Amino acid sequence: MLIALLAILGVNLIVIVVLLASVLSRKRWVKRQPGAFRGVIRVSSGEIDGLRPKWGRGYGRWVRDVLVWTKAPFFFRNELVATDGLDQQRPAGPDEVKRLGDHPVIVQLSTGSATVEVAAHDEESQQLVGPYRESVAVGRHRSAAPNGARADADRTPR
């Protein structure tokens, strides 16, 4: 139906096929990047260019302490989120995020004056925390820190 409508409007079928092939090949390339994970992202406080306060789908991967987020549905734009630290990791509440399995995980990242939340399937939680894996492991094995101290406070700089 959509193809027929576009053909009536004068859009060439070859243009549609080329666009579809380029989107699918780009998605395949993004998925095969080392450490890539599928998820959703939103800005929970502050402002970051290219990201909104509403959950947006895409693929993420870490390059050192920078989260490279490739936005869906066309996968042509990358948003770079330079993070300062991992504030919190928690399981998602019921109906908080959709289409990420039964037990999605949400991490809250601080970046300058803004805070970003990224959610992924629980099986991809190791890729989700990226360079902050050590601080998450320390936080799990340690009892609750006094006075609300963050788990990543003990992380040594690289």
Q: Is the pLDDT of residue 149 over 60?
A: no
Q: How confident is the model at residue 136 (pLDDT cuts 50, 70, 90)?
A: low
pTM given for the model: 0.77
Q: Is the pLDDT of residue 122 over 60?
A: yes
Mean of pLDDT values over 122-129: 92
Contact yes or no for 18/100 (Cβ under 8 A): no
Mean of pLDDT values over 4-12: 76
pLDDT of residue 60: 96
pLDDT of residue 29: 95
A 10 A CB-CB count for 120 gives 26
Q: How confident is the model at residue 137 (pLDDT cuts 50, 70, 90)?
A: low
pLDDT of residue 77: 92
Q: Is the pLDDT of residue 120 over 50?
A: yes
Mean of pLDDT values over 16-36: 92
- Contacts with 16 (C-beta within 8 Å, 6 or more apart), sequence order: 3, 6
Question: What's the mean pLDDT when you consider all of the chain?
Answer: 85
pLDDT of residue 138: 55
The sheet with strand 37-45 has its strands ordered as: 78-82, 66-71, 56-63, 37-45, 114-120, 105-111, 85-91
Sign of the CA dihedral with 144 first, then 149, 154, and 156 last: positive
